[in-house]
Structure 1
Amino acid sequence: MVELALIDKIVIVVYLMCILGVGLWAGRRVTELEEYAVADRNYNSLIIAATLSASFIGGGFTMGNAEKVFSVGIINIVVLWGFSLKELLVARYIAPNAGRFPKAISVGDVMEVDYGKVGKVVTGVFSVLLCAGILGAQIGGMGYLFNLFLGISVPAGILIGMGIIIVYDTIGGMRAVVATDVLQFVVLSLGIPLSLILGIYSLGGLEMMQSRLPSGHLEVFGSISLVKFLSLFLTFLLGETLVPPYVRRLFISKDIRHLCRGTFFSGMFSIPFFAVSGCLGLVALALNPQIDPNQAIPYVVQSALPIGLRGLVIAGIIAVVMSSADSFLNSASVAFVNDIVNPLRKEKLSEQRGLLWARLATLVTGGLAIIFAIRIQSLLDILIYAYNFWSPIILVPLAATLLGYRASKLAFVAGAAAGLVGVYVWNAMLGSPGGFDGLLIGVFANLTVFSTVNVLTPSPAVAADV
């Protein structure tokens, strides 16, 4: 446990209260499911950039990144830039087409255009599974933080952090998520770089830090093979591509210009941020190579930051976790109601009852997330595991629809089945030969079967608007 001065504890408590207050205030007037899911669809590019960045910069991309850099070196930073490239590609090719879905509130609404009820329900199921997995990574990190900094047990820390998120997320939906994301983005943008600067200073500068590091940690391919690098790079390029929270951000901007700019700004911001969070792992390694890699960032805070600043930086670290967790929790609840419950009912839920169901769904998703967090210890490994519930099954047909290429229901079903089988056979039966994760094999299998079946069952070239 890190010993904190009273002032640091006060800063942390005040921050948590501010998050709760902002979330409750922003979402105080939400009365319908659509408003809960997409607010008023009137956010500008800066808000889009802030909420997107706060959503994807979670525990896995900060604490998990520092852990991996501590263990294997700067190669992990370069690997994560696959995610940055993905965001820039979305800004260039996907975001400009979002205007064709003016009434969509979930990924399932987009998939329903070409693939009907089957596509919507299947997407809803895997949306919930993916969001629960990624949420598990975030709340696992939250438990570590509360345990280390405040001496609270990991389960209790999870309950406190998740309790705050569930309260404002349940009441305010997207309005609360965006409002808290902006605050969290500001705090994490200050806190994480400040930790790195003070950490390097405590070591005596860059040259002194470098002298304490294993030489291989500063080489791009010093610790893993090119094949393994490509596997990981492509995993992060494809793994979170078009996942529910990011797709739903395509539906909340005031116009396409603001959406494209905001998405581009978010992608550019991620490049230096991943470098900063990863380098915190190097600072921790230089300070003490014997520590648990999972505790890299907390150890830097404990060792390098003076009393008075620790509270601010810890608040920034907590912001990282909470800002991602609330987005995935909200997306899971919307997917559960809009993409699973409504399509399977004879009569669609009213907006008011749909809102009630969405609020109740947060409890189910939270339970699934806790299971993920308990079963897998590494935060980044949780992300990679969760990706297997999305990209091999949903990514290819979703990208096709968003890009305007219409395909048949049979192509969707066949491609999804091929992707799922590909992941299972490659990972579970063959043991990931060649260092390639099954996610990549699943995406390739889906693309191959989806394209082949679609050629054999031709459809109109352009999808209709939702």
Structure 2
Amino acid sequence: MTETYANGPWVILGLLVYMGLLLRIGYWASKRVADEADFLVAGRRLGVPLMIGALVATWYGAGTTMGAAGMTYLFGIQGVIFDPFGAALCLLLLGLVFARLVRRSRFMTLVDYFESRYDRKVAGLGALVMLSAEMGWIGALLVGFGAIIQFFTGIPIAWGIGLSTLVLVAYTYLGGMYAVTLTDALQMSIITVSMIAILVIIMGQPEVGGWDYIFANSPASNWMGINQWDFLPTPASHADPELQNAGFYYYTGHMGWFYWAAAILSIGVGSIAAQDVNQRLMSARSENASVVSACASSVVYLVIGMIPVILGMAAYKLYPDLSLADVQGKLLLVMAADYLPLAIVIIFACGLVAALMSSAAAATLAGAAIIGYNGSKFVRPGISETQSLKLTRLFVPAVAGVSLILALCFETIYNLMVASWTLLLVSMFVPYAAGFFWKRANAWGALASMAGGFLGWLAGYFAYLPLTSAANTGVYPGVEGVYFEWAHWDALYISSIWGLISSVVLMVAVSLATARIAPPKPLCDADGNLLDTRGWFGLSFGKSRGAYSRA
């Protein structure tokens, strides 16, 4: 197994050329930025092809490439329910349920929406939650930057993160959403080609055993001995008698089903209330473009997202004795170095960096919009558009800088990514959805839902931690007693279902109880006019729409 790559200078040259191209695109796009709408939502002029590239790139980064391959190696298909399956579900739900209303509202950010539908307190709390999630997501991507560049070039991880972050900040600062979208299209093309190339080459290796091995539902196909293709919790009747591998990640009963629900809902539902993906829907040239793009992106994402999943299965056959650090940090990198020709390695390295930059750029722009665009209006309601745009640009490097600190503190790519979206699931999704579809939702209900969902999640975490600690005792070679890393994440995910339940219950109960003292506000568009809500379903092409009614 390759520990470092011998042809690092050639990879460095390829990455420098590629990053120079990104900077050139950012400079060109900056010439088309005349106002805040150009910078934040690309002037609302993106067609379907660019929108598909942008939406797929929202998540197709470190989690889906490096993280998913490692999680499949460890846990089989159960390891990647979060992503790509959850992310594909999110895109589908956005297209079918939310895309029309999001585009029709013509807001710049979700903070605008929360302030219009509820009040400034809800918008302010929502901004803090969304900003925390975006920064955690960027941190996960920066971990991937450092791992890729260090492995292929030998450059220290801090230098690799720094170089990539500087390029990311530069082209996002210059061109905003238009630069992000143009580079998304380029970067998704590169990563798709490179992933197909490594799939063809790896599956052609005689050691893998061909596609029969990949589709064999055997517990001998991954590190934890879970049935390879058991998407749902494994029934006791299907479990291996020696391994007793029933359930989800070996958790049975309600904990197994709660874990599975958290896996599909964390990104599948939680990310619906994320600023970056909504900002991309807001950039579409029309409602139909946003709907078609989101639905098509769901299919595209799942197809290309399965490539690293299959590679993770093949990797277990090629390297059955990898350390946990190698599995979680550089599994695909090792495979590329060992099996790909130099030219394809260069393309592959650029493709991985491309995927990470696509996701990180959108999240960085989303965070800068929350602080610069919305924050400036909170502090100075009469601020001019020119000043607000300057502040938004200035916060691009600030958001990247804070995310860099998170990247240095947490080095588990997949878990850091999922935890960010779980925060949105328990705190933001219910107020977001209720604002569109439940006329009786009010500001007090939204605040209670956001705070109560988080507290319910936190309480559940401490309640489940002793149980997950017991389940993770003696599971990892070389670690005596509890392997706390896994016990911690298991408790965090399982408890998120109680957070979601708390969020729903409190939204309904508090909104109804306080309806007289805090009457619900109507759903309006960016101009303050009642929003047409008929024909909201994504496939309602050409159907009539009527005005929003509080009846």
TM class by shorter chain equals over 0.9
Q: Which residue of structure 1 aligns with residue 512 of structure 2?
A: 455
- Distance in 1, matches of 2:502 and 2:131, equals 23
- Distance in 1, matches of 2:508 and 2:7, equals 58
Of 160, 163, 168, 1:165 maps to: 168
Deviations 1:53-98 (A, max 9, x none): 0122111121111111111112223443122122111111111212
Contact 2:117–2:521 (Cα < 8 Å) also in 1? no
Report the AA paired with residue 186 of structure 1: S
Helix, strand or coil: the match of 1:349? coil
Q: Which residue of structure 2 aligns with residue 93 of structure 1?
A: 97
Q: Which residue of structure 2 aligns with residue 378 of structure 1?
A: 412
Q: Does 1:177 align with 2:177?
A: no
Q: Which residue of structure 2 aligns with residue 303 of structure 1?
A: 338
Q: Which residue of structure 1 aligns with residue 58 of structure 2?
A: 55
Normalised by the length of structure 2, the TM-score is 0.79
Q: Does 1:364 align with 2:364?
A: no
Contact 2:42–2:178 (Cα < 8 Å) also in 1? yes
Structure 1 or 2, whichever has the larger Rg, is 2
Q: CA deviation at 1:156?
A: 0.4
Correspondences of 1:284-295 after superposition (within 5 Å): 284-291=315-322, 292-294=326-328, 295=330
- Distance in 2, matches of 1:182 and 1:381, equals 27
Contact 2:59–2:87 (Cα < 8 Å) also in 1? no
- Distance in 2, matches of 1:274 and 1:76, equals 13
Q: Does 1:115 align with 2:118?
A: yes
| Closer/same/farther in 2, CA of residues 460 and 131 from structure 1, 3 Å limit | closer
- Distance in 2, matches of 1:385 and 1:99, equals 28
Q: CA deviation at 1:164?
A: 0.3
Q: Which residue of structure 1 aligns with residue 453 of structure 2?
A: 419
Report the AA paired with residue 230 of structure 1: A
Q: Which residue of structure 1 aligns with residue 306 of structure 2?
A: 275
- Distance in 1, matches of 2:187 and 2:148, equals 16
User: What runs of 5+ residues in structure 2 fail to find an aligned partner?
Assistant: 235-244, 469-489, 527-551
- Distance in 2, matches of 1:316 and 1:99, equals 31
Q: Does 1:319 align with 2:329?
A: no
Q: Does 1:332 align with 2:363?
A: no
Helix, strand or coil: the match of 2:44? coil
- Percent identity reads 20
Q: Does 1:36 align with 2:70?
A: no
Q: Which moved more, 1:292-301 or 1:383-392?
A: 383-392
Report the AA paired with residue 407 of structure 2: A
Report which structure shows greater RCO (CA 8 Å, sep ≥6).
1
Q: Which residue of structure 2 aligns with residue 349 of structure 1?
A: 383
- Distance in 2, matches of 1:432 and 1:117, equals 39
Contact 2:372–2:392 (Cα < 8 Å) also in 1? yes
Deviations 1:238-295 (A, max 9, x none): 2322211111112111110111000001111121222111122122222212331021
- Distance in 1, matches of 2:278 and 2:301, equals 17
Correspondences of 1:13-162 after superposition (within 5 Å): 13-80=16-83, 81-102=85-106, 104-162=107-165
Contact 2:53–2:184 (Cα < 8 Å) also in 1? yes
| Closer/same/farther in 2, CA of residues 433 and 465 from structure 1, 3 Å limit | farther
Of 242, 263, 284, 2:294 maps to: 263
| Closer/same/farther in 2, CA of residues 99 and 131 from structure 1, 3 Å limit | closer
Q: Does 1:444 align with 2:454?
A: no
Q: Which moved more, 1:114-123 or 1:152-161?
A: 114-123
- Distance in 2, matches of 1:402 and 1:203, equals 54
Helix, strand or coil: the match of 1:290? coil
- Distance in 2, matches of 1:369 and 1:5, equals 27
Contact 2:270–2:423 (Cα < 8 Å) also in 1? no
Deviations 1:425-457 (A, max 9, x none): 122465286755333222221111001122233
Q: Which residue of structure 2 aligns with residue 218 of structure 1?
A: 228
Helix, strand or coil: the match of 2:364? helix
Report the AA paired with residue 269 of structure 2: L
- Distance in 2, matches of 1:235 and 1:5, equals 37
